[in-house]
Amino acid sequence: MRAMERPKPLMQIKQRIEQFVSREGRRPRVLVSNMARRSHDQDTNLLASLFAETGFDVDISPLHQTPRGTARMAIENDVHFICFLSTENDHKKLATDLVKDLKAENADNIGIVMGGKIPPSDYDFLYGAGVDLILNSALIDVESVNRLFDLIG
C-alpha cells in the first residue's frame, strides 16, 4: 500500500532535514523555552509538537524559565536554536537578556527565534539585539521553517 502523498512543500522540508542530517550527523535540535509568567502555556506545547512533527528533535524547558536558565539548558542539550513565544510585553528584555547570557557562556552561535504577539514596530529593535528570526504568530509554517533552515544551514 502506498503511503499518503505528502504535499510538495512538506517534501521539501523533509529533504532539507535529510540534507542537514547527512551533513551534521544529527537532526536539527531546538529548545522550545517557556519564559512566560503564566502558569500554563498550551501554545508552547503546540509549537513543540509542530517542530517534532516536522522532524526536529525538540527539548522543552520547565515553566517560567529565566533567560539564564534557558541559555544553560540550550548549552547542555546542545541545541541549534532556541525558540520562545512572547506572551506579555516583556519580549525586548527577555531577548536582550538571552543574547547576553548566551554570550557570557561562549554560546552565541545558538540561534534565537521568537514568536507570538510581537508588534512589527519592535522587529528592528529585536533583530538589532541579536534575535535571528521573528515568526509572526505562535506557530510555524512551511515558510518559517524554510527561513529557519536558511539560518542554521
Partner 1 sequence: MDTQAYIDGVLAKNRRIVAKTITLIESSLSAHQKMAKAIVDALLPHAGQAVRIGITGVPGVGKSTYIESFGLQLVKQGHRVAVLAVDPSSSKSGGSIMGDKTRMEKLSLEQQAFIRPSPSGGTLGGVARRTRETIVVCEAAGFDVIIVETVGVGQSETTVASMVDFFLVLMLAGAGDELQGIKKGVLELADAIAINKADGNNIENAKRAKIEYKKALSLLTPSSKTWSPPVLICSAVTMDGIDDIWQTTMDHRKKMEASGELALKRSKQALDWMWALVEEGLRDRFYRNPEIKKSLSKILKAVEKGDIAPTAAAHRLLDLHN
Binding site residues, partner 1, CB under 8 A = 17, 21, 24-27, 48-49, 51-63, 69, 72-73, 75-78, 105-107
Query: Residue 47: in which H helix or E strand, if any?
Result: helix 42-54
Return the number of the residue (89 or 105) whose C-beta is nearest partner 1. Answer: 105
Residue ranges with strand state E in the chain = 29-33, 57-60, 81-86, 111-116, 133-134
Please identify which residue in the block is written with the cell numbers 516536522: 54
Cβ contacts of residue 15 below 8 Å, gap of 6+?
none
Return the number of the residue (67 or 122) whose C-beta is nearest partner 1. Answer: 67
Cβ 72 to partner 1, closest distance in Å? 7
Return the number of the residue (73 or 98) whose C-beta is nearest partner 1. Answer: 73
Cβ 122 to partner 1, closest distance in Å? 28
